[in-house]
Structure 1
């Protein structure tokens, strides 16, 4: 009996290390697969100018861009421009989410509000934010207000439209079940509509996160004295091409990191959902 007991106690000790190794290998393979395309792109970027497949003047090797990025980081310029852009982008993004989510919930839940504001939404959702940039500059000047405002405008529509769609696509069976329990409208909204809308709302929020960076960079190319958009534009104007690409790479990295943070936040807020595969 003691030998059988020791076998039962010893089996998990041998299984756990093997399981940990398999899990680690699985993660390494998965990470390698996901990064393979990025690595291939960087290798192509490095070799194409060196082999004469691209003009090195206009497309320097990636290693030269890394050197230029490091020089900008050491001088403090990259941090100054990045902080300026992040301040504007996060301010506009935060304001847009704070306004757009309640507005989308209101329009999606109340049909009369949707009928009233629907035509206005159609007009503005089909008007590109950058097309209105001159209007924002004329009305608000070339300072911080116009740049934050254009980000707010651009980020509002993805969040509003996805929130409206989320509310309207809630499972009717859930609504009928909740109403059969005589839940008051406020509790129905709180217990059924909001939880069921989280994934679609976050889809709009993630889209808005990407838009907040892209639109801001374009806005900073006009009348700005700091920011990644200004850095890219000034580097191109002064023919500092490696520095220009360093700014572009920084913008891409910020966009990827921002999206990752939003994905993590979405998983936290929707952790109660049961996966569809069981």
Structure 2
């Protein structure tokens, strides 16, 4: 028989599994996350390769088609000829002059359009009475093509720089304005209710909830507006200007300098791509709170 003292000193174990020491394995890395990063990198690389492949194929077709006689090289010279002419225009300084003239007009009009359209869109989207007053006028003007008003701008403001900048403003305002209104009105109501339940004032609610939620849609309007401003400006420069990419294209076409004409068109495409990349990078910096769906 065991003594009472021995019984008191014997540990009481209710379950042998509880007495078994738990050995935790040290986790080495996170395979799931590593595979996610690798898959994301592969997907981004695949998209980049596909995009580059399409551009390379387009360049090959442009180069080969005139040389094998599929199209008349007089009216569509090979890409190498166009690129050579582009570098010649860069070397003699003509292309820089035309780019500067077009960019100065486009940036002035775009900046003024942003200053006008973003606050007005926020106001219309947030306050219903303002929308009721201004919607009829907006519907009337936004359905009027900017190029149809070019003679009006020229008659009122003259054929100089003012009419071209005003036309760019008119063309750039509405994409920004409509997307800003849509962004404000489509904010998740649950976010607004949650912010109000926390006691945020209307100003803080608009600043902390509505404006950040509407920012991606606003930047979509900015990108559309940037493209529209360049296109409208080029058309205006073709009608009446002594400098600019539109003037370069029209003058080259009239003088039958076809490679220079295509060089101007290629320059417009490159300027538009750079403009769009700048806006995309600004949007990413201002929208770091957004969750990347590919991650």
- Do these two structures clear the TM 0.5 threshold for a shared fold by scoring above it? yes
**Larger Cα-atom Rg:** 2
Root-mean-square deviation (Å):
2.1
How far apart are the structure 2 equivalents of 1:22 and 1:72? 44
Q: CA deviation at 1:275?
A: 3.0
Q: Provide the residue aligned with 2:23 in structure 1.
A: none
Match of 1:249 in 2: 266
Closer, same or farther: CA 25–240 of 1 in aligned 2, 3 Å: same
Matches within 5 A, 1:1-278: 29-276=46-293
Q: 1:33 Cα shift?
A: 1.6
Deviates more, 1:267-276 or 1:65-74: 267-276
Alpha-carbon deviations, 1:215-271, whole Å to 9, x = none? 110010122000000000000000000000000000000001110111111111001
- Alpha-carbon separation, structure 2, partners of 1:24 and 1:249: 31
Give 5+ residue unaligned stretches, structure 2.
1-25, 30-36
The gaps in structure 1 that reach 5 residues or longer are 1-7, 13-19
Cα distance in structure 2, aligned partners of 1:275 and 1:28: 16
Query: TM-score under structure 2 normalisation?
Result: 0.85
> How does the TM-score come out when normalised to structure 1?
0.90
Query: Structure 2: how far apart are the matches of 1:25 and 1:103?
Result: 43
Deviation by residue 1:115-137 (Cα, 9 ceiling, x = unmatched): 00000010111111111111111
Aligned residues: 263
The 1-side partners of 2:90 and 2:50 are apart by 30
